């Protein structure tokens, strides 16, 4: 475990800022939208893409992630979502920066509008770790090891973060759609699942881990659900704004 920590160069300042809420306020599930560049109107980014393409490529080598993403997205999204099964490198850095780097590389490979998604699990007692490296921690120590990392700490609170990064061609203006779910790290419970569903994590206001929930129940409160909803709202509102502006 010590060697694993030495390999990490994770800065927790941004995660701390995002999760600096009182514990009593963490009963509500929060969603945020951030933009890496704000000098261009949001609707212009969508217009540029819609003039050239009618689809967005979801780049991931994880079929489970793709299936759950499309289930959450459902009907009524204004663009067709297609898929390219590419395993992108696991970058180091803060959550938004990791998502940005993956999205930039995905666009350079595909040369079409793309989205990528990355998830993090941030322990407040550990200053944001394991963060975007949770996949590697799970591979090394498993869900039991994640729980035991907080042995000796009174604070078992955590936040699950899903970041969807979108690039329509300008890699300097990548958009980040982020969803957050606050909760508590517990002794692992539930059946064998894949990906972040094995996290020993109970969302605030619930009495079950993600692994114990049905897919429908989980998809109503998950960090991925929140991120997808922010993305959907962005595209729908941006397109609607341009349609109204054109009619005037």
Annotated binding site: 60-65, 90, 102, 118-119, 218, 223-224
* Dihedral angle over CA of 30, 89, 138, 194, nearest 10: 70
Q: How far apart are CA 100 and CA 102, in angstroms?
A: 5
Cis peptide before 130 (omega within 30 of 0): yes
DSSP letters spanning 195-225? GGGGS-EEETT-SS-GGGS-HHHHHHH-HHH
Feature table: binding site for ITP: 60-65, 102, 118-119, 218, 223-224
Feature table: binding site for Mg(2+): 90, 118
In a 3-state reduction of DSSP, which class is residue 71?
helix
Strand spans (E) along 89-227: 114-123, 130-131, 157-167, 175-185, 201-203
* Strand partners of residue 166: 115, 175
The single-letter DSSP state of residue 154 is S
């Amino acid at each position: 475990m010590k060697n694993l920590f030495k390999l990490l160069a994770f800065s927790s300042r941004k995660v701390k800022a995002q999760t600096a809420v009182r514990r009593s306020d963490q009963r509500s599930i929060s969603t945020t939208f951030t933009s890496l560049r704000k000098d261009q109107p949001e609707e212009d980014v969508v217009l540029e893409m819609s003039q050239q393409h009618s689809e967005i490529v979801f780049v991931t080598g994880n079929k489970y992630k793709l299936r759950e993403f499309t289930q959450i997205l459902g009907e009524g999204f204004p663009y067709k979502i297609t898929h390219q099964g590419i395993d992108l490198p696991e970058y180091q850095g803060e959550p938004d920066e990791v998502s940005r780097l993956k999205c930039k590389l995905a666009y350079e490979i595909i040369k079409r509008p793309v989205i990528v998604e990355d998830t993090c699990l941030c322990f407040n007692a550990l200053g944001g770790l394991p963060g975007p490296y949770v996949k590697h921690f799970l591979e090394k120590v498993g869900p039991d090891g994640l729980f035991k990392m907080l042995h000796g700490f009174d604070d078992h609170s955590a936040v699950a973060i899903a970041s969807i990064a979108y690039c329509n061609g300008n890699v300097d203006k990548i958009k980040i759609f982020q969803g957050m779910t606050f909760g508590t790290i517990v002794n692992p419970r539930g059946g064998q699942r894949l990906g972040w569903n094995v996290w020993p994590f109970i969302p605030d206001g619930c009495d079950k881990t993600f692994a114990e929930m049905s897919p429908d129940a989980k998809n109503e409160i998950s960090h991925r659900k929140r991120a997808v909803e922010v993305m959907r709202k962005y595209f729908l509102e941006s397109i609607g704004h341009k349609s109204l502006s054109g009619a005037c």
